[in-house]
Amino acid sequence: MDKTDLDILSHLQSDGRLTNVALAEEIHLSPSPCLRRVKQLEDTGVIEGYHARIDRQKAGFSMTVFVEVRLKSHAGDKHIVFEKAILAMEDIISAHLVSGIADYRLEVVAVDLQDYERILKALQSLPHVKDIQSHFAIRSVKTAAPLPLKRMST
């Protein structure tokens, strides 16, 4: 990726609804080459898609919970079975295999405590789960930040 690609990505991170003409103008490129570059970034998977950023509270999700999960065993493909199960759970909005005591760190959204209890019971019933610890977010300070693309050009 060169500086122009990084400029395109930076502008699209700020406003994914930019028209090609407006984007081309912002990065000082004509519309045709700009569109080709965007298409190439999409085709190679650098741009995975476009979506609206939704305020969790205003959408009715009053709780964000970070859930640490330990598996009973790491033998064979047990982690694959677990990962497939959590991929199917829409309440889990991000999941990471991590180092440390926990094996996975999940970010879960819930409408209220009763809703989280439902989610927790579903997590406890997943295959190969040994232990679960929940950490309730008191207040979000920073979420959905853009990638620091400016560092890439130096």
The DSSP result for 85-142, as a single string, is: HHHT-TTEEEEEE-SSS-SEEEEEEESSHHHHHHHHHHHHTSTTEEEEEEEE-S--S-
Q: What is the pLDDT of residue 145?
A: 87
Instruction: Decide yes or no: CATH 3.50.30.50 for domain 3-52.
Output: no
Q: What is the pLDDT of residue 154?
A: 57
Q: What is the pLDDT of residue 72?
A: 94
Please tell me whether the overall predicted TM-score, pTM, comes out greater than 0.75 for this model: yes
Rounded to 5°, the CA angle 131-79-44 comes to 130
Domain boundaries, the chain: 3-52, 63-136
Q: What is the pLDDT of residue 153?
A: 65
Which CATH code fits 63-136? 3.30.70.920
Helix/strand/coil percentages in the chain, nearest 5: 40, 20, 40
Q: What is the pLDDT of residue 38?
A: 98
In this chain, the answer to whether the domains covering 3-52 and 63-136 adopt an identical fold is no
Residues of the chain with pLDDT under 50: none
Q: What is the pLDDT of residue 40?
A: 98
